[in-house]
Amino acid sequence: MGAARGVLQAALLLAAAAAAFLLVSPAAAAAVNSTSATLDNIQPLSTLNMAAARVAMDAGSAIRASPELLGTNGEDSAWVTVNFTTPAPTDGHWIALFSPADFDLIMGGKQSSSRINAAGEDEAPAGLPIAPIKYKFANISPSFMSSGSGDTSFLLINQRYDYAFGLFSGGKDNPKLVAVSNKISFANPKAPVFPRLSQGKGWNEMAVTWTSGYNVDEAYPFVEWTMNGKENARARRSPADTLTFTRNHLCGKPANAEGYRDPGFIHTAFLKNLWPNREYSYQIGHELLDGTIVWGKSSTFRASPSPGQASLQRIVIFGDMGLGQSDGSNELAGFQPGAQVTTERLIKDLPNYDAVFHIGDLSYANGFLAQWDQFTAQISPVASRVPYMVASGNHERTSRDTGGFYGGDDSHGECGVPAETYFRAPAAANRGKPWYAADHGMFRFCVGDTEHDWRPGTAQHAFLDGCFAAADRKHQPWLMFAAHRPLGYSSNEYYAREGSFSEPMGRTLQPLWQKHRVDLAVYGHVHNYERTCPVYENTCTAAPAAAGGGGNGSSPAAAYTGALGGTIHVVAGTGGARLRGYAGGEWPQWSAARSESYGYVKLTARDHSRLELEFIRSDDGEVLDAFSITRGYKDVLACAVDACDPHTLAN
């Protein structure tokens, strides 16, 4: 009976996993945004040709995972050791992690109740497959090819369901399931996990978002929080709202088919009336109907400075990170090769910055939704401590016939739904059109959404005009624009070939930047680092007072003083996606610095008269480029080309 059950479980596992995971064709790869190379857009899970898979249970093959019970002390992640053996080892053997582990689809029959999703809906009609969460080739274990036995470790996170591993032969093109492991689960699969902060609707408000398996009809979500360092400070509780999404919210495959996975419930609580620059402790939790409380991890954060407040203020900005894998699973090392090292550098650098702006292309899940849980786990050490603000990128939003500005299907059916649910931009008036303003002391950020039209006459253009105009430059001298696609200047090869040196039609915002004297515009999308001079209409409008240095933070590569006369544009799509070069030939005269390195931009302001920017390499923390701006308020007001306020000669 045990052997029969194993064969049955194997058959059901394969039935659940037998997706049409066909290799992305060259034509399909070419259809995605033309600034992205084919390799950047092929999610490794999509290269598993499970449509050709079959059950070939081998009595001599076995796979086992241990320990079977995880998170007994409240951990939300755990290492699992997988031991496997097969009598005829090849380099085409691989191990895949599946969840849920109860693949009890009846061939052509009715789904069991265990396939009802968290929202109470039937999410997987009979015969519809699901993707593995991750995989490795068996020869990652050094002894496998010689002995037929090996072991490896996987890092599992609490994703609300149990797990099982499958051992396959035949490579990715002709997979055969030869063994299935025992089941593994977390002690409380529904536990609240992976809190992530974002600035609320105002500067003195913090939003806390997290994921759990609890709907509001079985537990009430909340955050308990208190001010640190204040005698007799009482703990307060803020209730959270609860959202989820289903297959029907998504716009195409694989997101609403083989890549779909129940997202659980996403909760957000708002902590209000915070004191500027004060440290707070908080803990996410759920109160069950019997009064029992299930707690998540506790953490701390520092509230934002009030608008205009002069203090040490440091902001990190980058785009295009993706999902790293510290356990070496699947081929993400080639898909987003810098994601892990950038995440690790951000964790090490955590005491030295106050907020993060991740400006698009967040997880690169590309329609395989389990990757979103994996991504929130990856950034949780950072996002649970400082506001993690996001912008929408093409890999989050672009989907055909869904109201976006671009065609194509870079989101692979997601059409913004997972990103806009897992991450909150509370200051945005509409989650589906996530442009917003954020004040942080002496900084004002106006964050655009390049997946929706930004041109004159649109709602976004009107918003940006108002956002820039609302900055009180006496007290908030540093005015920033951030968005995913480079709307300003980039010498990326595609842009150069088009002759635009920017996203086509991008510079329709240039009159706004000039009118409002925007200091800095930062973009992702292009996977390199590039900085311009202060520029307007392809012409440098200011020269640095000093040049040289820039390495190791010894001195800035450029030091600008006085009025800029234009905007400095920075491309920083260097969070982890495969790096890119630049157009050949002579540099455009506005291109001041370049680097093909993984890293991030850090802005530092200590007072109202000096701003510093550094580009920090992820590998070693070295500063590869730096510049400073030193000026007074009169320099902000100074007349510039096409930016002179009307005036009279009368006394």
Per-residue model confidence as pLDDT tens digits over 218-254: 999 999 999 999 888 899 999 999 999 999 999 999 9
Q: Please compute, for residue 538, the number of CA atoms within 13 A of its CA located in the half-sphere on the CB side.
A: 7
Give residue 384's Cα distance to chain centre.
14
Residue 482 placed within a domain: yes
Give the DSSP H or E segment for 634: helix 633-637
Q: What is the pLDDT of residue 556?
A: 65
- Are residues 605 and 497 both part of a single domain? yes
The token pair at 448 is: 């655009």
**Residue 119 and residue 136: Cα distance in Å, rounded?**
32
* Domain-located, residue 230: yes
Distance CA 242, CA 222 (A): 10
Which residue stretches of 125-284 are H helix? 144-147
Beta bridge pairs of residue 179? 167
Q: Which backbone phi and psi does 544 adopt, to 5 degrees? A: -70, 145
Q: In what order do the strands lie in the sheet with 176-180?
A: 54-55, 176-180, 164-169, 94-98, 134-137
Residue 173 domain boundaries: 50-111+118-186
pLDDT recorded at residue 328: 87
**Based on the domain organization, do 172 and 297 belong to the same domain?**
no
pLDDT at 590: 97
| Residues 642, 645: Cα–Cα separation, whole Å | 9
Domain shared by 326 and 348, yes or no: yes
Confidence band (pLDDT; 50, 70, 90) for 74? Answer: very high
| 174 and 198 share one domain | no
- Indicate whether 164 and 253 sit together in one domain: no
Q: Are residues 161 and 228 part of one domain?
A: no
Number of domains in the chain: 2
Task: Tell me which residue of 289, 341, 292, 351 sits closest to 316, measured CA to CA.
Answer: 351
Greatest mean pLDDT among 2-6, 48-52, 117-121, 339-343? 339-343
Whether cis (ω within 30° of 0) applies to the bond prior to 351 is no
What pTM did the predictor assign?
0.91
Supply the pLDDT for residue 35: 39
In a domain, 45, yes or no: no
Number of H helices, E strands in the chain: 12, 34
With respect to residue 642, please indicate whether it lies within any of the assigned structural domains: no
Whether residues 151 and 236 share a domain: the answer is no
Predicted confidence (pLDDT) per residue in 88-145, tens digit: 999 999 999 999 886 543 222 333 334 455 555 544 444 445 789 999 999 999 999 9
| pLDDT value for 245 | 97
**The last residue of a domain, from among 135, 156, 186:** 186
Alpha-carbon span 559 to 610, nearest angstrom: 10
> Is residue 92 domain-resident?
yes
What distance lies between CA 261 and its chain's CA centroid? 18
Per-residue pLDDT reduced to its tens digit, 265-274: 999 999 999 9
Answer yes or no: is pLDDT of 155 > 80: yes
Average pLDDT estimate for 10-28: 35
User: Does residue 225 contact residue 236 with C-beta atoms inside 8 Å?
Assistant: yes
Query: Is position 402 within any domain?
Result: yes
What pLDDT is attached to residue 91? 96
Q: What's the sign of the alpha-carbon dihedral 242, 246, 248, 253? A: positive
Q: Mean pLDDT throughout 608-625?
A: 98
- CATH code for the domain in which residue 74 is found: 2.60.40.1930
Answer with the one of 158, 186, 214 that is the final residue of a domain: 186
pLDDT at site 131: 82
| Mean pLDDT value of segment 531-537 | 97
Same domain, 160 and 218: no
Query: Alpha-carbon distance 396 to 411, whole Å?
Result: 5
Burial class for 408, CB neighbours closer than 10 Å (0-12, 13-18, 19+): middle
**How much of the chain exceeds pLDDT 70, in percent?**
87
pLDDT at residue 9, as a whole number: 46
Q: Residue 69: beta bridge partners?
A: 185
Which pLDDT tens digit goes with each residue over 432-491? Answer: 899 999 999 999 999 999 999 999 999 999 999 999 999 999 999 999 999 999 999 999
Last residue of a domain, one of 186, 207, 225: 186
Residue 27 has pLDDT above 80, yes or no: no
260 with 134, same domain: the answer is: no
Any residues with CB less than 8 A from the CB of 273 and at least 6 apart, and which? Answer: 204, 205
Q: What is the pLDDT of residue 232?
A: 83
pLDDT on residue 119? 54
CA distances from 361 to 344, 391, 421, 599 (A): 18, 8, 15, 15
Cα 545 from Cα 559, distance rounded (Å): 5
Distance in angstroms (rounded) separating the CA atoms of residues 409 and 401: 10
Residue holding tokens 């950047």?
Answer: 40
Nearest-angstrom CA–CA distance, 247 and 249: 5
- Residue 184 banded pLDDT, cuts 50, 70, 90: very high
- Mean pLDDT across the stretch 587-595? 96
Average pLDDT, the chain: 88
Residue 367 backbone class (left: φ over 0; alpha: ψ -120 to 50; beta: rest): left
Same domain, residue pair 66 and 213 = no
Report if residue 158 sits inside a domain. yes
The proportion of the chain whose per-residue pLDDT surpasses 90, expressed as a percent, equals 76
Domain match, 167 and 230 both: no
d(CA 157, CA 7): 28
CB atoms within 10 A of CB 361: 29
Per-residue DSSP letters for 509-574?
GHHHHHHTT--EEEE-SSSSEEEEPSEETTEE----SEE---GGGSS-SEEEES--SSBEEEEE--
What's the whole-number mean pLDDT along residues 567-587? 95
Taking residue 395's Cβ as centre, other Cβ atoms within 10 Å add up to: 31
Would you place residue 368 in the very low, low, confident or very high pLDDT band (cuts 50, 70, 90)? Answer: very high
- Rounded (to 5) percent helix, strand, coil in the chain: 20, 30, 50
CB hemisphere CA count around 573 (13 angstroms): 27
How many CA within 13 A on the CB side of residue 549? 15
Looking at residue 30, its pLDDT comes to 30
| pLDDT band, very low/low/confident/very high, at 651 (cuts 50, 70, 90) | confident
Write the CB contacts of 27 (distance below 8 Å, at least 6 apart in sequence): none
356 domain-assigned: yes
Q: Check whether residue 176 and residue 286 sit in a common domain.
A: no
Res. 498 pLDDT band, cuts 50 70 90: confident
Question: Quick one: which of 354, 357, 190, 423 has its CA closest to 285?
Answer: 190
| pLDDT at site 51 | 73
Q: Do 58 and 178 contact (CB within 8 A), yes or no? A: yes
